Homo-oligomer: A and B are copies of this chain.
């Protein structure tokens, strides 16, 4: 586990990646205007003097935008009047071969691009936090539940690593979504491009897009819906997993003695119940998940039955879903950075039920060659015996077991109990830690497998950090490209 430890230390020390400053619709319109001015001159659609006039107007308006009370709009028609006041009628040539539609849908994608990277970053932070939590308690025994009922003991390391695997796959989904979004509609105009030879590739390049969307009708009339569904698909999936994890934690608080708890000072009290410690952080994180799902369905209501090009398709629901998803993942990170674990209490919960009964049956089959189903009948009889006498599994005497076995042997025509299955074995198989330690399957809770999985998870986290860094660098490079080209106008 040393490699993992080492990586984790690095993670712990690594400075949190700086989130890109999110631009608002006005800023993105400004960037599109700059890109248009550069391209229009390069393609001889405007003359150098016109380009200079346009550039000056853009810069002046941008300077004005820093003043208080400036009305920041992402709609070109809202800022055009002021641009014309500043630079005269030729400035409107800036909009040549564009429309409100392609600039609007491009603006949406430019915002979504930042929001996806932001969600991705918060997801990385949450994974890093879960990984640290997991490493700290990897081999502790905890009960696991199936169908809402205690089922078998597992290790906390195994359980948390399971969630980490899902969040790892969610990162892939988000990255795929980013690639789908980061395609440029710009230059499609209202839907059919125009009679000007607009260089859509160049516009895409100056704004950091991977490429222009091939078909201009698709670009502005159809792809917005598809991209929005990609986003809500990804955020809904993340919300569901987060909801599942928060449900596990909320289940803790219904017990008088949970083993996973927030620090007392981070719980919220009651105005009249002095004993209450409400896990509000957890409740609110789950509420965030519900909100993300609600945003998704709200968008679907708006967009369903829209004809191509309808206004409903441009709803901002996916943007809000991404904002909420980032906040939700931040909450998960916050919770696991403070969550406390009470190991003896978790073990006590396992010991107070018969979660080890499966292993008793397995051992009977393996050591005493009792056929599978018969071994389970014997184990079931042991459970019943113990429950009737309010015994814990560890409190059942070997003598009693032998009597139970003999009865079952008569009923099911079993061989006599083999000597291999002696008292020491019997006692061993009824201990929770034995069941966890003796698991042998690929991906099971046994220490070697958990350690291997944690190493792999840490490595993939580093890889994903690299992906994010690369995307941020690509966008920064595009910014620099555009600034350099624009400064020459």
- Interface positions, chain A 230-252, Cβ under 8 Å from B, are 230, 232-234, 236-237, 240-241, 243-245, 247-248, 250-251
The listed residue with most B CB atoms (<10 A of its CB), out of A89, A147, A200, A365, is A147
Report the nearest B residue to A382, measured CB to CB: B274
Interface string of A287-316 (1 = CB under 8 A from B): 101110111011111111111111111010
Q: With A and B bound together, what is the CA distance between A150 and B163 in angstroms?
A: 28
Report the nearest B residue to A93, measured CB to CB: B372
Q: If the complex has contacts A222-B163, A256-B352, are A371 and B275 also in contact, measured as CB distance less than 8 A?
A: no
Q: With A and B bound together, what is the CA distance between A373 and B372 in angstroms?
A: 63
Among B90, B162, B310, B354, point to the contact of A148 (Cβ < 8 A): B310
Residues of chain B within 8 A (CB-CB) of A354 are 274-275
Interface string of A182-211 (1 = CB under 8 A from B): 000001111111111110110000000000
Copies of this chain assembled into the complex: 4
Stretch at the interface among A117-125, A152-160, A465-473: A152-160
A69 within 8 A of partner (CB): no
- Interface positions, chain A 436-476, Cβ under 8 Å from B, are 436, 438-445, 453, 456
Among B152, B230, B436, point to the contact of A273 (Cβ < 8 A): B152
Task: Give the A interface residue count (CB, 8 A).
Answer: 165
Q: If the complex has contacts A147-B283, A158-B192, A440-B196, are A272 and B383 also in contact, measured as CB distance less than 8 A?
A: no
- Interface positions, chain A 327-364, Cβ under 8 Å from B, are 349, 352-355, 357-363
Q: If the complex has contacts A213-B443, A215-B158, are A149 and B243 also in contact, measured as CB distance less than 8 A?
A: no
Interchain CB contact under 8 A, A256 and B353: yes
Report the nearest B residue to A257, measured CB to CB: B352
Q: In the assembled complex, how far is the CB of residue A209 from the closest CB belonging to chain B, in whole angstroms?
A: 13
Among B94, B373, B376, point to the contact of A84 (Cβ < 8 A): B373
Q: In the assembled complex, how far is the CB of residue A379 from the closest CB belonging to chain B, in whole angstroms?
A: 4
Q: If the complex has contacts A192-B144, A247-B305, A373-B92, are A241 and B222 also in contact, measured as CB distance less than 8 A?
A: yes
Q: In the assembled complex, how far is the CB of residue A283 from the closest CB belonging to chain B, in whole angstroms?
A: 5
Interchain CB contact under 8 A, B166 and A443: no
Stretch at the interface among A1-9, A18-26, A97-105: A97-105
Interchain CB contact under 8 A, A441 and B189: yes
Interchain CB contact under 8 A, B214 and A453: yes
Q: With A and B bound together, what is the CA distance between A455 and B20 in angstroms?
A: 40
Q: With A and B bound together, what is the CA distance between A404 and B349 in angstroms?
A: 33
Interchain CB contact under 8 A, B217 and A162: yes
Interchain CB contact under 8 A, B272 and A290: no
Residues of chain B within 8 A (CB-CB) of A152 are 190-192, 273
Q: With A and B bound together, what is the CA distance between A17 and B362 in angstroms?
A: 46
Report the nearest B residue to A185, measured CB to CB: B443
Report the nearest B residue to A456, measured CB to CB: B214
Interchain CB contact under 8 A, A272 and B190: yes
A95 within 8 A of partner (CB): yes
Interchain CB contact under 8 A, A439 and B240: no
Report the nearest B residue to A270, measured CB to CB: B100
Q: Which 5 A-B pairs have the closest CB atoms?
A: A193-B441, A294-B298, A233-B233, A275-B354, A193-B444
